[in-house]
């Protein structure tokens, strides 16, 4: 017995290879499977990615935009395949949040660590409108609330960099 073709307009399920890529992206190459505090480890992965980027703003902006777009796709697919809303294994949103936190901030390692702590704080408490963005459908909601938490952390880090003694952060 052969399978019948899909109905017109119906989409085919993604291939195993596409699913593997989506899970690899969404979990940041498996970091999301860490059994304790995967979001914190995902944020640390974002910090490492930031450290690998050139110091100029343009590449950081492009990488941040690419992580957002690919993250929405991957998180949506993992959410659909797992049958759970905002599955805990998805940590690409934390990577994005860290990139947004450090974007256009002239921070050294001290500032980057402060940015990490600020992002984790805002990601946990999710002040308005981050808590509203979390309700958006699929991967967009998964990514948008962390992007907003990153915006808050970016602003507070920027203020800290302005008032900190020279060279401290």
Question: How many residues are given for the chain?
Answer: 169
Task: Give residue-wise pLDDT tens across range 5-53.
Answer: 555 655 656 788 888 999 999 999 999 999 999 999 999 999 999 999 9
Task: Give residue-wise pLDDT tens across range 138-160.
Answer: 999 999 999 999 999 999 999 99
Residue pair 70/25 in contact (Cβ under 8 Å)? The answer is: yes
Number of CB atoms found within 10 A of residue 70's CB? 18
The rounded distance, in Å, linking the Cα atoms of 36 and 46 is 17
Report the mean per-residue pLDDT for the chain. 90
Angle between helices 138-163 and 109-125 (to 10 degrees): 130
The rounded distance, in Å, linking the Cα atoms of 6 and 128 is 43
The dihedral through the CA atoms of 45, 47, 51, 56 has a sign that is positive
- pLDDT at res. 113: 95
Residue pair 114/160 in contact (Cβ under 8 Å)? The answer is: yes
- pLDDT at res. 18: 87
Residue pair 164/118 in contact (Cβ under 8 Å)? The answer is: no
Q: Please give the model's pTM, rounded to 2 decimal places.
A: 0.88
């Amino acid at each position: 017995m052969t399978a019948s073709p899909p109905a017109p307009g119906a989409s085919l399920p993604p291939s195993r290879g596409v699913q593997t890529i989506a899970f690899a992206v969404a979990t940041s190459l498996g970091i999301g499977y860490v059994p304790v505090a995967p979001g914190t480890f995902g944020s640390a992965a974002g910090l490492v990615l930031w450290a690998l980027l050139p110091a100029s703003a343009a590449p950081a902006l492009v990488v941040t935009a690419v992580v957002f777009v690919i993250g929405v796709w991957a998180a949506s697919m993992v959410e659909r395949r797992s049958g759970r809303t905002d599955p805990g294994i998805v940590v690409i949103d934390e990577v994005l949040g860290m990139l947004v936190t450090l974007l256009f901030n002239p921070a050294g390692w001290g500032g980057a660590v402060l940015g990490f702590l600020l992002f984790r704080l805002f990601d946990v408490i999710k002040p308005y409108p981050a808590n509203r963005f979390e309700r958006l459908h699929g991967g967009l909601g998964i990514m948008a609330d962390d992007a907003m938490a990153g915006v808050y952390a970016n602003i507070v880090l920027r203020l800290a960099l302005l008032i900190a003694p020279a060279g401290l952060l």
